[in-house]
Amino acid sequence: MTVNAAYATLETRHRRLSAIRGAQAILGWDQSVIMPTGSNEDRAEQQATLSVLAHELQTAPDMGDLLAEAGAGGGLDDWQAANLREMRHHWAHASALPSDLVEAFSKACTRAEVIWREAKRTSDFALLKPALATVLDLTRRTGEAKGAVLGLTVYDALLDAYEPGGRAERVDAVFDELEAFLPALARTVMERQAALGALLPLVGPFAVEAQKRLGLEMMKAVGFDFDKGRLDVSAHPFTGGTPDDIRITTRYDETDFARALMGVLHETGHAMYEAGLPTAWRHQLVGGARGMTLHESQSLLLEMQACRGRPFIEWAAPRMAAAFGGTGPAWTAANIHRIYTTVKPDFVRVDADEVTYPLHVILRYRLERAMVAGDLRLEDLPGAWNEGMKRLLGIVPPTDTLGCLQDIHWPSGGWGYFPTYTLGAVAAAQLFAAAKLADPSIEPGLARGDFAPLFGWLRVNVHGVGSRLSTEGILVAATGAPLGVAAFRRHLESRYVGA
């Protein structure tokens, strides 16, 4: 079989799109890590131009015809057919929006982000409200326009941009189940941990150079390929770049190495997913990461499932002690494992442990759905936030800085993103359980710092699939079941209450 000409043309165009997006990823990394502060406008101009060029390519007038011809033309194997499906999906998202809406939305988000920084600093929700109202209005119009084309509700159309195929109905089912046991589980865990008495703190200062060396040592153990990636410093850690040029960032705190180290491992999980994507499809959509749920599942699988687990800590603890010259009972695997598995309700999502984290996400998901639907007015957000915190976590933030102003997602237009954090955590548990069942050498591997068995399984069952299957398709093929809460619950109960 030879692929049809329309499909071949589409592949060429998407190869270009991939290169433009890759360039943008490197420029974005540079902006966060390297760029002088006075170069913002210059970089914004570059990024805007590349976005416009990509959008013009993506929505060229003949794209609809080419996609139809490629579908009718035949001659496609499984990968090519899946690639064409992804092209259609991306095109539907991109072409659904009139360009004046895209521009208005982009400007509104840039503006609201700036105001948000000030509002967060001064805990002044009223300051943010008008700009946030504009973002919400344009978000709703975006969801409506996409929904009309994709045949989805407004919220599902927003969610679909981060998690292709993700639907609120499925999210509700998972989140309802989590909400049914997590608050009680968290209380139980906290009681048990309190009964164990105080844990021994690791006392610094921990030199940045030593932290960096340790982080690099752990990344090497995991299997990160430094021939195709780097570790650097930025204010907000992230994984950027491209699958062949992966840029991980972290930030160091001389009083606390443990958190930054786990942050590096978290980002390394993202990086290993990118690096493991099918190389034969590097510059095509079908070769890309499946969506934010699976992406987060890979960071959390490495961080929460593997590296906060006792087997890995047994191997890592003496290495941590050696890195900082630590001695005594605080540096035992048992104490370090306690540090890494402490459960404690916190006002701030990014500081939350794995037991309480989903409750933060459930709160945001419920609130953003209500706001998008018009069932919650913006002026009622702070109150609704605090009520939700009280109900789910039993604590009420003393300020909006520690409450509804803490996250950048809403002012920056990322509505529909939040649920993927917890869907990812749930998927991570399900995949890790299946992996250990399939290959009994995985857990003993972790106990000697050998991640090869784990990533051997993930390469075949998750990373190497790219976007050939849907998220659910990948989970079913890899674990025998669609996304469900059972493995996550078992994991938490086993780790935290020894059940």
Q: Known catalytic residues?
A: 267
The whole-angstrom separation of Cα 202 and Cα 339 is 9
Over the window 417 to 456, marking each residue x when it contacts a second copy by CB under 8 A and - when it does not, the resulting string is ----------------------------------------
Size of the site for a second copy (CB under 8 A): 35
| Region from 220-228, 302-310, 322-330, 390-398 binding a second copy, contact rule CB under 8 A | 220-228
Among 8, 9, 22, 179, binds a second copy (CB under 8 A): 22
Q: How far is the CB of 456 from a second copy (least distance, A)?
A: 21
Task: Identify which of residues 144 and 245 has a Cβ nearer to a second copy in the complex.
Answer: 245
Q: How many CB atoms lie within 10 A of CB 132?
A: 24
Could you tell me which residues come within 8 angstroms of residue 60 by beta carbon, excluding any fewer than 6 positions away? 13
Give SS3 for 310: helix
Contact between 61 and a second copy per CB under 8 A = no
Nearest approach, Cβ of 42 to a second copy (angstroms)?
4
Give the C-alpha distances (Å, rounded to integers) separating 245 from 271, 275, 414: 10, 9, 26
Strands (E), 182-253: 229-233, 239-242, 245-250
Minimum Å gap between C-beta 284 and a second copy is: 13
Q: What single-letter amino acid sits at 141?
A: R
Q: Select 57 or 370, whichever has its Cβ closest to a second copy.
A: 57
**DSSP SS3 for 110:** helix
Angle at 125 between CA 121 and CA 126, to 5 degrees: 125
- Using the minimum distance from each CB to a second copy, give the nearer residue, 34 or 180: 34
Q: x/- site string to a second copy, residues 25 to 54, per CB under 8 A? A: -xx--x---xxxxxx-xxx-xx-xxx-xx-
Task: Tell me which stretch binds a second copy (CB under 8 A): 3-11, 21-29, 263-271, 346-354.
Answer: 21-29
Smallest separation (angstroms) from a second copy to the CB of 8: 17
Alpha-carbon span 45 to 324, nearest angstrom: 44
Q: What is the DSSP letter of 305?
A: I
Distance CA 188, CA 139 (A): 40
The residues in 227-256 that bind a second copy, with binding defined as CB under 8 A, are 227-230, 242, 244-245
Please identify which residue in 23, 330, 370, 378 interacts with a second copy, judged by CB under 8 A: 23
Query: Which residues from 289-348 bind a second copy, rule CB under 8 A?
Result: none
CA distance 157 to 145: 9
**Nearest residue (CB) to a second copy, 52 versus 499:** 52
Asked whether 250 and 297 are in contact (CB, 8 A), the reply is no
Query: Environment class of residue 65 by beta-carbon count within 10 Å: exposed (0-12), middle (13-18) or buried (19+)?
Result: exposed
**Amino acid, single-letter form, for residue 27:** L
Q: Choose, by CB under 8 A, the member of 19, 373, 437, 477 that binds a second copy.
A: 19
CB of 30 closer than 8 Å to CB of 104: no
Q: Which stretch binds a second copy (CB under 8 A): 223-231, 315-323, 342-350, 428-436?
A: 223-231
The residue within the footprint of a second copy, chosen from 3, 8, 16, 172 (CB under 8 A), is 16
Subset of 266-285 contacting a second copy (CB under 8 A): 283
Distance between CA atoms of residues 146 and 155, nearest Å: 10
User: Do 214 and 261 contact (CB within 8 A), yes or no?
Assistant: yes
Contact positions toward a second copy, by CB under 8 A?
A: 15-16, 19-20, 22-23, 26-27, 30, 34-39, 41-43, 45-46, 48-50, 52-53, 225-230, 242, 244-245, 283
